[in-house]
Amino acid sequence: MASAVVKPETAPEHCPGTESDQAGKASACAGCPNQNICSTAPKGPDPGIAQVKESLQAVKNKILVLSGKGGVGKSTVTALLSRALAASDSEKNIAVLDIDICGPSQPRVLGVLDEQVHQSGSGWSPVYVDDNLSVMSIGFLLDSPDSAIIWRGPKKNGMIRQFLSQVDWGSLDYLLMDTPPGTSDEHLSAITYLSQADLTGAIIVTTPQEVALLDVRKEIDFCRKSKINILGVVENMAEFICPCCQKSSQIFKPTTGGAKKMCEDLTIPFLGSLPLDPKIAKCSDEGKNFFEEVPDSPVVKAIERVVEGLVAKCDEMH
Ligand SMILES: Nc1ncnc2c1ncn2[C@@H]1O[C@H](COP(=O)(O)OP(=O)(O)OP(=O)(O)O)[C@@H](O)[C@H]1O
């Protein structure tokens, strides 16, 4: 996986990057406010990269969950997948890492909003949702769930390094990392720190609408350029099945064939479609386990199929 060149926000156009041998010495550095720091700072890769590798050694599958557009259900799908993976085998340990620093939603969706994380000698202890399902999120470190976090790139970068290197997960089969929409500072930090840590790949969540698929294509391009293996695309809110008459309607109409057709065109795996079910939104808001609350929803079968495909893809990687 390629690691991103680290540049300060105030860097000149041809900045060689703070880790380059040329940092502070290249002709582009003349007049840069960081020139002095760059020319005297220790060189070489960020030590956090080695710390993350070491810390995630006992995590078998490390998966980024991405989306092009906001609000397509990435956090909901992450939570559903984690619960379904945990329920599929009690011997397997699953965890969710919420690296959506500005909009952490996993504590609410997984029903552990009032919990707190504890720091021990071996790092932060994650919060346990179930015996084999744990979660870590910046949401646990905020004074109130409504506190907004307005951080610049370097501070987010530091928090992501800490999250990836200082959480005491124990041994894990799957670590699902919920990210913000698009490609932002959080993504660049995460892929830099995971560059030596054997990232298994990424799941991309979308709705069937062309406006969402357009942004998914950009996300696919980002994965390809960053050499991130795409485990597959999940299409969310693909249809609404009326609970009274069982009639199916497409709320977000796929004008260009939807996610499946896009995956065929771009030769990437399609993991499946999840229906829109208002009970999902209700359970997420209340932090309830959807699989226990609504076991007969068509979403349950659909998510199980996605999990089967995902497990098969991950197994292929080992
Ligand atoms: N299949 C579904 N059926 C019904 N509601 C859903 C479904 N998937 C997600 N939702 C609802 O849609 C809203 C957006 O979902 P969610 O917060 O997971 O999106 P997101 O892509 O993570 O958003 P963000 O861009 O903020 O990260 C939430 O209210 C959620 O409960």
pLDDT tens for each residue of 142-158: 777 666 567 777 788 88
Look at residue 198 in the predicted model and tell me its pLDDT: 95
Considering only 40-44, 121-125, 303-307, which range has the smallest mean pLDDT? 40-44
The stretch 96-119 carries a mean pLDDT of: 92
Neighbours of 38 (CB within 10 A): 23
The stretch 258-276 carries a mean pLDDT of: 94
Neighbours of 131 (CB within 10 A): 9
Check if 235 has its Cβ closer than 6 Å to any atom of ligand 1.
no
Residue that wins the pLDDT comparison between 206 and 248: 206
Check if 274 has its Cβ closer than 6 Å to any atom of ligand 1.
yes
Check if 58 has its Cβ closer than 6 Å to any atom of ligand 1.
no
Residue that wins the pLDDT comparison between 175 and 257: 175
Inform me whether the pLDDT recorded for 131 exceeds 90: yes
Check if 189 has its Cβ closer than 6 Å to any atom of ligand 1.
no
Inform me whether the pLDDT recorded for 161 exceeds 80: yes
Considering only 81-90, 225-234, 253-262, which range has the smallest mean pLDDT? 253-262
Residue that wins the pLDDT comparison between 5 and 23: 23
- For the entire predicted model, the pTM comes to 0.86
Look at residue 2 in the predicted model and tell me its pLDDT: 44
| Highest averaged pLDDT of the listed ranges 158-162, 231-235, 239-243 | 231-235
Residues for the chain: how many in total? 318
pLDDT tens for each residue of 49-66: 999 999 999 999 999 999
The stretch 228-253 carries a mean pLDDT of: 86
72 CA distance to ligand 1 middle (Å): 6
The CA distance from 131 to 262, in Å, is: 38
Check if 104 has its Cβ closer than 6 Å to any atom of ligand 1.
no
62 CA distance to ligand 1 middle (Å): 22
44 CA distance to ligand 1 middle (Å): 40
Check if 71 has its Cβ closer than 6 Å to any atom of ligand 1.
yes
The CA distance from 274 to 78, in Å, is: 12
225 CA distance to ligand 1 middle (Å): 27
Cα separation values, 147 from 119, 134, 138, 150, 158, Å: 21, 23, 11, 10, 19
The CA distance from 315 to 218, in Å, is: 27
Using the atom order of ligand 1, give the atom closest to the CA of residue 285.
31
Nearest to 55 by CA among 147, 136, 139: 136
Inform me whether the pLDDT recorded for 6 exceeds 80: no
pLDDT tens for each residue of 31-45: 888 888 788 776 777
Using the atom order of ligand 1, give the atom closest to the CA of residue 278.
4
35 CA distance to ligand 1 middle (Å): 44
Look at residue 9 in the predicted model and tell me its pLDDT: 66
Look at residue 145 in the predicted model and tell me its pLDDT: 63
Look at residue 5 in the predicted model and tell me its pLDDT: 62
Look at residue 46 in the predicted model and tell me its pLDDT: 84
267 CA distance to ligand 1 middle (Å): 26
**Residue whose CB lies within 8 A of the most ligand 1 atoms, among 66, 69, 75, for a mutation test:** 75
Look at residue 4 in the predicted model and tell me its pLDDT: 53
Q: What's the chain's average pLDDT?
A: 89
Check if 81 has its Cβ closer than 6 Å to any atom of ligand 1.
no
Residue that wins the pLDDT comparison between 8 and 207: 207
Using the atom order of ligand 1, give the atom closest to the CA of residue 69.
25
Using the atom order of ligand 1, give the atom closest to the CA of residue 79.
18
Inform me whether the pLDDT recorded for 88 exceeds 90: yes
Check if 161 has its Cβ closer than 6 Å to any atom of ligand 1.
no
In angstroms, how far is the first alpha carbon of the chain from the final one?
Answer: 16
Cα separation values, 66 from 73, 78, 250, Å: 10, 10, 23
* Cβ atoms of residues 228 and 268 within 8 Å: no
Tell me what ipTM this predicted complex has. 0.98
Please give the domain boundaries of the chain with CATH numbers for all domains: 15-44 (no CATH), 48-316 (3.40.50.300)
Check if 105 has its Cβ closer than 6 Å to any atom of ligand 1.
yes
Residue having the nearest C-alpha atom to atom 11 of ligand 1:
281
The CA distance from 112 to 110, in Å, is: 6
**Residue whose CB lies within 8 A of the most ligand 1 atoms, among 110, 250, 284, for a mutation test:** 284
